[in-house]
Amino acid sequence: MNADINPQTVPWPRLRRLVVGLAIAATSALGVWTMFRILHVEGITPLELAILALFAITFSWITMAFWSAVIGFVLNLLGLDPLSLRRRPAGPQRPAGSQSRTALVMPIHNEDVARVVAGLESTCRDLPSETPDMLIEAFVLSDSTDSETVAEEKAALARLQQRLAGHCRVHYRHRDSNQGRKAGNLGDFCERWGAHYDFMLVLDADSLMSGECIIELIDEMMANPRLGLLQTVPIPVRQLSLFGRANQFAASLYSPMLASGLSFWHATAANYFGHNAIIRVEAFTNHCGLPELPGKPPLGGDILSHDFVEAALLRRAGWQVRMRTDLRGSYEEMPSHVLDYAKRDRRWVQGNLQHMRLLRGHGLHFLSRLHFFCGALAYLSSLVWLSILAISTIDALIRALVPPNFFTSSSQLFPNWPIAPPNLIMPLLIGTLSMLLMPKVLGLILGLIRDPEAYGGRLRLVISMLLESIFAMLIAPLMMVFHSRFVLQVLTGRTVAWDPQSREGRALPWRESWRHSWVWALIGAAWALVTWRYTPEFFLWLTPVWLGLVMAAPLVRWSSSLSIGRRLSRLGLLKVPEETRPPAVVAEMDITELPPLGAEPEAPPEKLPREMPEQSFQRPKGSQVPAWYEERRRMRASKADS
């Protein structure tokens, strides 16, 4: 291990957070004060006060993303690791002679069995043939409830065990209960077989990971005994539709940079995305047993977005939670059209809004609370934006329809002429748009400097960035109304089933596109007509919003098109490195027909039962000292010793 690098320490974490926090606060305050100056010309009405409050929320959200992108750009430009602020040394970091056992765990629930097996096999085959100091095995953890799917799983896993014999052992477990959903599935693994392993690398049913990436993750866990969880940045792959390719391009070009900026100030209190991350099994077992939230769903019951909560519990117990933003080789698939994407978001809205109930959880790190709040705000912000637009429209219509009264008193001799607002509207608008677009511009600059050929060349990269930005702008109003509706559904008590998501590309027929979007198109058209009739200037300002809603059905239909996606690919547009230089784990993935039913997979290894205690977010009563507090004190002592 490099003697100059201590993988346990992160220099100046509090100073980083202070500086970033001050930058976000100062920029937000400037924007809110500017908006206040614009509104407060002749006094401020209740409607304008509401606009100001909602603007403060959304502008602060934009500011946080802007500063994270700027920091990530600088770090990537200089080639610095966001945690150590140095160039990451090459070669193994683990102590000489150390050994580890790692399980690649894939929880599944009524998934496409052929896709599950193909992805897992490609990942396992990409592992090095010999890793004497790293034992790596795979575990498929099925919670499937459909009997035909279970039979297909058993036959397919039995055949996969035969194909991978001598390369990577694969185990299969099916449990009849779906208690606790994915978190309960992983908890069951930890209680039964976790004692066999030092680490578990959690994979989703659509995950792909290169062998090199997996070895790097294990190496870092072995080098840092205080590291509880290490998250990668999964990049979408194998996208064929326009919608999928645009999101795939955006994730490849912008996500690593944004993640670097976040990692810089999150430091050892980063977040967990629920997959493509490696976890220390003992720490997870001791401190991540999730309780049920009191009350009924949707805000009570099982904790649905369990990943944020598990990261918070690990950090509470003193374990480091980090993110590796430089690693390539961590991939996933995603829904191929807007409707499936929105369906997935509907589940996440419910899970993330539950986190608002945990903001006051006892002993949690400040950044863990911030993760909870920002996760909910990611969807609440759509409702906030919609509220701003609706209130602004009402205010503009009132000003247009109600004649001005220049004489407010019967004894008044001179009129109260309207005062022109300060010349701040355009600077605020330009500043806000600049901060919204800056992450894209910075990502483009990095792509042009570092490896433009991986994106099809400089000219095609620029055109692709513009194409993706226009598409994102047009689709944003539709996602805004979808998310707003989902939030209102959750807040009014409507729950949703967490069924497996669709990932295979398919072109939506016009009928389905219209069925899910005609209401929004009608609202957009009415919105446009009313503002054009009574306040033409405001109509122009609203053009990006009403245009995206009026075009909802064509956007849904065309963005799902596989033929449009293929044409763009042939033109070299929206290309990503995983297409121009496909890694083996992606290129060699082969979805084949399932074998005949009837075969049974080998039994999993012998159980080594271990208890996974349920955690509490309440302050302990009396003199009771919770286990996580003792663990955190032990971790601090080990830090002082090192």
How is 608-621 classified by DSSP, letter by letter? Answer: -----PBP--SPPP
Q: Is the distance from CB of 393 to CB of 523 less than 8 angstroms?
A: no
**pTM flag (> 0.85):** yes
pLDDT in tens, 172-187: 999 988 899 999 999 9
Q: Is the distance from CB of 549 to CB of 480 less than 8 angstroms?
A: no
Find the helix packing angle between 242-266 and 13-39, rounded to 10°: 120
In the chain, the number of structural domains is 1
Containing domain of residue 189, as a range? 100-234+273-329
Nearest by Cα to 272 from 317, 229, 221: 229
Pairing of strands 330-332, 208-209: antiparallel
pLDDT score of 414: 47
Q: Is the distance from CB of 242 to CB of 560 less than 8 angstroms?
A: yes
Instruction: Determine the residue type at 179.
Output: Q
| Domain harbouring 196, CATH code | 3.90.550.10
> Which backbone phi and psi does 614 adopt, to 5 degrees?
-75, 135
* Rounded distance between C-alpha atoms, residue 13 and residue 10, angstroms: 6
* Rounded distance between C-alpha atoms, residue 279 and residue 593, angstroms: 33
> Which backbone phi and psi does 400 adopt, to 5 degrees?
-80, -35
> Which backbone phi and psi does 522 adopt, to 5 degrees?
-65, -45
**Is residue 553, in this structure, part of any structural domain at all?**
no
* Rounded distance between C-alpha atoms, residue 483 and residue 608, angstroms: 44
**Is residue 465, in this structure, part of any structural domain at all?**
no
Q: Is the distance from CB of 159 to CB of 113 less than 8 angstroms?
A: no
Residue-by-residue DSSP string for 35-87: HHHHH-SS---HHHHHHHHHHHHHHHHHHHHHHHHHHHHHHHHHT--TTTSSP
Other C-beta atoms lying within 10 Å of the C-beta of residue 80: 17
Specify the length of the chain in residues.
Answer: 642
**Is residue 94, in this structure, part of any structural domain at all?**
no
* Rounded distance between C-alpha atoms, residue 599 and residue 456, angstroms: 46
DSSP structure class, residue 51: H
**Is residue 309, in this structure, part of any structural domain at all?**
yes
The half-sphere exposure of 483 on its side-chain side, counting CA atoms within 13 A, is 24
**Is residue 513, in this structure, part of any structural domain at all?**
no
pLDDT score of 498: 62
Tokens standing for residue 434: 């600049």
pLDDT score of 417: 46
Pairing of strands 235-236, 330-332: parallel
> Which residues does the chain have with pLDDT short of 70?
1-5, 42, 403-422, 497-505, 640-642
Tokens standing for residue 620: 């302990």
